[in-house]
Structure 1
Amino acid sequence: MLKSSFWLMGCSLLLFFQSSVFAQEQIDVIDLTPSTEDGFTSLFNGKDLTGWHGETEGYSVSAGTIVSSPDTRGNIYTKKEYQDFIFRFEFKLTPGANSGIGIHAPITGNPAYAGIELQVLDNTAEKYQQLKPYQYHGSAYGISPAKRGALKPVGEWNEQEVIVRGSTIQVRVNGQLILDTDLKKAAPNGKTMDERDHPGLARTTGYIALLGHRSEVSFRNLRVKELLEL
């Protein structure tokens, strides 16, 4: 009986140890989320719009995502301004969706001109097949066109990275570089591609913004890393 008791105790300890190791492995996996990337700060707590201001009535929070309303336009802005940075996020489009990401955006004025708007768009929608090259997804709206073909089918999550350093902007979608532009060279002879006035070209700092254009677009895992001068 004594040997049996020791044997049972040994088995129990072994099972406890294995369970603890398994639990630790599970915790390690859970901890490897975008918010733990080196130097990145989360811009969304997954519960509400704390840390964002502006026309928040045009957005809702559901299942850990920020969702723009298809019934109203509205822009929301980060609580602080950024100069040079890496901005990473995931987004999911609905059919025909149209939205945008504001870079170096001021609170007042149209961010597409007063700042820089990076287009968020369902490139495959029939109604968008005759757009100008600078109006498709990832483009610096009115300024520099992005390459097409990187988006996943509508309804699937995409990953996007925006790197802003000085006057340069790079955009990657699902690992593919689709925009690599220098704003200093965006207006040769004083004219942009859309021949509109873009005072935002001269801005070197501003807010990151979500720009709602009466379309349902979902965003999650929004995080930013400031690129500080050495």
Structure 2
Amino acid sequence: MARKINYCFGIMIAGLIMSSCNPGATPDNEQTEADTAVAATDDGFKQIFDGKTLDGWEGDTAYWRAEDGSLVGEVTPDRLLKSNTFIIYQGGNPKDFELKLEFKITEAGNSGINYRSEVFPGVPHALKGYQADIDGKNNYTGQNYEERGRTTLAYRGQKVTIPNTEGKSEKNAWTAAVVDGSLGSSDSLKALIKSNDWNTCHLIVKGNHLQHYINDVLMSDVTDDDTTHRKMEGLLGIQVHVGPPMQVQYRNIMLKNL
């Protein structure tokens, strides 16, 4: 027993000597800032918001600004909205992609991330297309909603197929949608979303398969076989919704084309 203790003690002393000779060394489970920067580029993601300006984005600056590293959308009592407004990414029309970001929204807030969308004519800064829904009360956060289109495609907790058949929007949901499975109850998934605090959102959009993750948990899963209405590429934008005064913040917005 004494021999084993002496051996371990010797190993410890040797490790201390090596660390003193190399004061810049870090433990294996820690990353330096340089390591983190390399990882951020090696995984294929590109930062599409610089945290300081609205460069590369277009929207109504009465409602959108860059502040403290965040893209901020805000509705104030003296600037209420008449229609939903978006700030739109100007870097192309993503087709197959992954999007990662963090968001924080006030309780009265209503927002969302539009993708594979198109400009809706006649309304300034309006989009039509798929949306990862986000709201302050977390009643809808994580669901798949088609803005100015088929409306709700999948509620939170649903795995859905949209068949290539006729349908209509009824009670704010697409009647043709077929629920194939469950990802968990809406309430159990809601419990994983933080109120008035930072959450992560990860969208994986490939072919006709659309997945919305919040805090690394799959919240909705849509396979869109509806060749009449689906879109395979389009604009990316972030929404501020008509309603009471509110604020939403987005940061660390990262895009990877697949």
Scaled by the length of structure 1, the TM-score of the pair is 0.71
Structure 2 partner of 1:76: 87
Question: SS of the counterpart of 1:36?
Answer: helix
The 5 A counterparts of 1:8-47 are 18=23, 20-21=24-25, 28-29=32-33, 31-32=35-36, 35-36=40-41, 38-47=43-52
Q: Structure 1 residue 107: deviation in Å?
A: 2.3
Paired residues in the alignment total 188
Mapped contact 2:102–2:251 kept (Cα < 8 A): yes
Structure 2 partner of 1:144: 154
Mapped contact 1:88–1:159 kept (Cα < 8 A): yes
Mapped contact 2:153–2:222 kept (Cα < 8 A): no
Distance 1:88 1:164, change over 3 A: same
Structure 1 partner of 2:6: none
Distance 1:69 1:113, change over 3 A: closer
C-alpha distance after superposition, 1:143-197 (max 9, x if no partner): 2112232543322210110011111100111111111111226x9xxxxxxxxxx
C-alpha distance after superposition, 1:68-124 (max 9, x if no partner): 112345201111111010011000121121101101111234899831122111235
Mapped contact 1:102–1:112 kept (Cα < 8 A): no
Cα distance in structure 1, aligned partners of 2:108 and 2:132: 17
Structure 2 partner of 1:207: 235
Mapped contact 1:171–1:177 kept (Cα < 8 A): yes
Question: SS of the counterpart of 2:32?
Answer: helix
Q: Which runs of 5+ in 1 are unaligned?
A: 1-13, 129-135, 188-198
Which residue of the other structure, out of 105, 110, 113, is the alignment partner of 1:93? 105
Q: State the Cα RMSD in Å.
A: 2.9
Q: Structure 1 residue 65: deviation in Å?
A: 0.5
Mapped contact 1:139–1:145 kept (Cα < 8 A): yes
Scaled by the length of structure 2, the TM-score of the pair is 0.64
Q: Structure 1 residue 43: deviation in Å?
A: 0.9
Indicate the structure with greater helix content: 1
Q: Structure 1 residue 27: deviation in Å?
A: 7.7
Indicate the structure with greater strand content: 2
2:197 counterpart of 1:156 = yes
Identity across aligned pairs (percent)? Answer: 26
**1:218 maps to amino acid:** Q
Cα distance in structure 1, aligned partners of 2:202 and 2:22: 41
Cα distance in structure 1, aligned partners of 2:31 and 2:212: 32
